Amino acid sequence: MKAVVVNKESTGVEVVEHEMPTIGHGEALVKVDCCGVCHTDLHVAHGDFGEVPGRILGHEGIGIVEEIGEGVTSLKVGDRVSIAWFFEGCGHCEYCTTGRETLCRSVKNAGYSVDGGMSEYAVVTADYAVKVPDGLDSAQASSITCAGVTTYKAIKEAGAAPGQWIAVYGAGGLGNLAVQYAKKVFNAQVVAIDINDDKLQLAKEVGADIIVNGKEVEDVGAYIQEKTGGCHGVVVTAVSKVAFNQAIDSVRAGGTVVAVGLPSEYMDLSIVKTVLDGIRVVGSLVGTRKDLEEAFAFGAQGLVVPVVEKVSVDDAPKVFEEMEKGTIQGRKVLDFSK
Ligand SMILES: [Zn+2]
Ligand SMILES: [Zn+2]
C-alpha cells in the first residue's frame, strides 16, 4: 500500500510502498479515504519532537472500517471513523478518568508515536476512534479532526457564552475556525485580530463582528477594551509572543486567555493585573473524544465549514515543502480514495 513516511534522514517526507498493517485485539483496520496535512506533521518530519524515520505520518485521517479485531464492540465494519492526534490514552490515570484524557502521560499520538493516517490502510484502537456522522464531507471531517476540535475546545475553555465578547488572535486556518465556533455555535460576539488583511476579510465573512489589523492599530489591547468593554475570553492561535501579550490586555476582569499557538517564547504576564483582575490563563491541547464528537456534529449541521482542498498523495512532498516555505494556502488534504 502507498504511505507517506518520515524519510531516513528526518528532513522531510517520502511516498513509499509500505507493507499492509495487521490488527490485533481491540483494533480495527481502516481503509483511509483522506488525511489532512498539518503543521504538526512538518515538526514530526523534521524530528522536532524526536526523530521517527519511517513513521507513517498523519493525524487528520478519515476512513471506513474494513475489518475489526477480537473484542471490538464499539465499531463495526462500514463505520466511518477518524484517526486523530489523540490516538489512545491509558484509560486509567488521573487525567483519563477525569475528562482530561488528552493530558494522559502515556498518550499515543497518530503519525508520531504510532503510525498515522497518511496511508491507504491504517490501524486504530477501536475504543478511541471517533465516528464521523453522516452528512459531513470526509475532507472537511479531516480538518475538524485536528484544527476543528482544537479551536472548538479552546473556545469552550474561554468560557464563551451567548452575547459575550470573544477575541481570536490569529485569523489563519485555526483562527478562522475559532471565529466560526465562537459565532455560530456559542453565539458570542467576536473580535478577530491579525496582521494580514486578506485573512481578516475571511474572518469577517465567517462572522467576526470586529476585525483589527495589529499593524495599523497602535495599542491593540486598549482599542479592543474601548470597542467591547474588554473581552470575556480570548483565544490565541497566533504563533507570536506579541499576540499573547496583547491578549492579556484585551480581557476584562474575570476574563480567560486560552493559549493554542506555540511560539517558543515566554509571555509577559503582569502579576498585579492577573491578581487584581482575576485573570485566568490556560493552555488548551486538541480535544477529547467527546469534544471531537461534538465538533463533528456541528460540522455535520453545517454550522462550521473548514476550507479544504484535496490533492493527490504523490504531491505530499510538494505540500510539505510549501508548508515549510509558508506559501501554502488553505488546508491541503491527501486523497487516498483513488
Ligand atoms: Zn493537525
Ligand atoms: Zn491516561
Centre of ligand 1 to C-alpha 150, Å, is 9
Angle between helices 149-157 and 289-300 (to 10 degrees): 110
Higher pLDDT, 212 or 265: 212
The span from the CA of 119 to the CA of 116, in Å, is 8
Beta pairing, strands 189-194 & 165-169 = parallel
Centre of ligand 2 to C-alpha 285, Å, is 15
> Which architecture does CATH list for 2-146+287-335?
Alpha-Beta Complex (3.90)
- Per the confidence metrics, is the pTM higher than 0.75? yes
What is the percentage of the chain residues whose pLDDT exceeds 90?
A: 92
- Of 40, 42, 48, which Cα lies nearest the Cα of 85? 40
Average pLDDT over residues 254-260: 96
Taking only the tens place, the pLDDT of each residue in 127-170 is 999 999 999 999 999 999 999 999 999 999 999 999 999 999 99
Centre of ligand 1 to C-alpha 39, Å, is 6
Centre of ligand 1 to C-alpha 40, Å, is 6
> Which architecture does CATH list for 148-283?
3-Layer(aba) Sandwich (3.40)
The span from the CA of 102 to the CA of 309, in Å, is 28
Q: Where are the domains of the chain?
A: 2-146+287-335, 148-283
